Amino acid sequence: MSLTRLTLRDFRNHAATRLEDTARFNVLIGENGAGKTNVLEAISLLSPGRGLRRAQPAEMAGRDGDGSFAVAAELENGDVALATATTPAAPGRRTVRINGAEGPAARLGEWLSITWLTPAMDRLFAEGAGARRRFLDRLVLAVEPGHARVASRYETALRERNRLLEGPGEPDPLWLDGIEAGLAEAGAELARARAGLIAGLAGALEGLPEAPFARPALAYVAGGPVEAEALRAALREGRRRDRAAGRTLTGPHRDDLGVMLAAKQAPAADCSTGEQKAMLISIVLAHAALTAGERPQVLLLDEIAAHLDPVRRAALYERLGETGAQVWMTGTEIAPFEPLGTDAAVWRVADGAVVQLGPTDSSLRA
């Protein structure tokens, strides 16, 4: 099962765009700023969370529209319909519909597993832990759709605890006990899911060759105790310290994904930009292999081929073909994607307009 039709209405620079006749590989070609990444972002909204740019709903509405937008997709020729949209009356609230029925965004993860790589992620290992946690949670969602609900429960309890700690006067210890019990329970679930996913990825990575993509070694770096009772005790003992700091200093909201270049035993943050990107590609390929068959997989790869030599591009396409996932890629020219041949559906994007090109269309090389 894969995306067979995608429709965008007043989404960023796409006033009215429809993509049909999709394939296993789908390639969007166009100049910078044409709207290629906007299509990938629209697809990313068909999964729990804020999408690949983490933008607010009002930011995604087209400038010439009424302040709202809509994204809709069909899986397997209409067997499943997914949609997300805003309205002019509530441009900051994004609703979700699954087969016509409104529901929580977390349920989208039950239908599609969507993962992405963008140029903004090239320095993921050199930046703060927050970006790596979000990346890790996106990978966990492909295995456990309920992970989004657990994360939401944890974040809600965390905000409540911080609010009490920051408030005037000494917080009610019984009230804190109740909040911390829920925080610890959700936190232990988060830790279990993250650690389990990393262990699975490590096993999948062991089966991949050392070349042409650098193979990373992964580790779960816990931000506190991982068992519920131990985390609850740590939260209780840390109240005075956390109150002085004005925030909770222990728990999975401080987790990190540890990554090293296996061949050099070097932390990923110390590796070159090229090595870091190669490790990211390896992780995504291992994840696709790990989750094959769980649910329909969609990989969004923005400008993925731009800085790969022909050998690495060929290896990437071969491995992507083995994953069983539907792949969406962008680029400024067709040449890097020519090895895909007739396995790819190709669209030219210009100023928010999308035109599908045939395999013999001379404009492929325009």
Residue with tokens 């996106």: 138
Q: What is the DSSP letter of 223?
A: S
**Could you tell me if residue 260 is inside a domain?**
no
How many residues appear in the chain? Answer: 366
Number of domains comprising the chain: 1
Q: What is the CATH number of the domain that holds 308?
A: 3.40.50.300
The CA distance from 190 to 153, in Å, is: 10
Is 65 within the bounds of a domain?
yes
> How do 70-75 and 90-98 pair as beta strands?
unpaired
- Report d(CA 42, CA 44) in Å as an integer: 5
Q: What string of pLDDT tens digits covers the 366 residues of the chain? A: 689 999 999 999 999 999 999 999 999 999 999 999 999 999 999 999 899 999 999 999 999 999 999 999 999 867 899 999 999 999 999 999 999 999 999 899 889 889 999 999 988 998 899 999 999 999 998 888 899 999 999 999 999 999 999 988 888 999 999 999 999 999 999 999 999 999 999 999 987 777 788 889 999 999 999 999 999 999 999 999 999 999 999 999 999 999 999 889 999 999 998 889 899 999 999 998 888 877 889 999 999 988 888 999 999 999 999 888 999 999 999 999 999 999 999 999 999 999 999 765 644 444
Residue 38 lies in a domain: yes
Asked if residue 164 is part of any domain, the answer here is no
Indicate whether 117 belongs to any domain. Answer: no
- For residue 359, give its domain range: 1-112+295-366
Q: Residue 92 domain-assigned?
A: yes
Query: What distance in Å separates the CA atoms of residue 102 and residue 204, rounded to the nearest whole number?
Result: 37
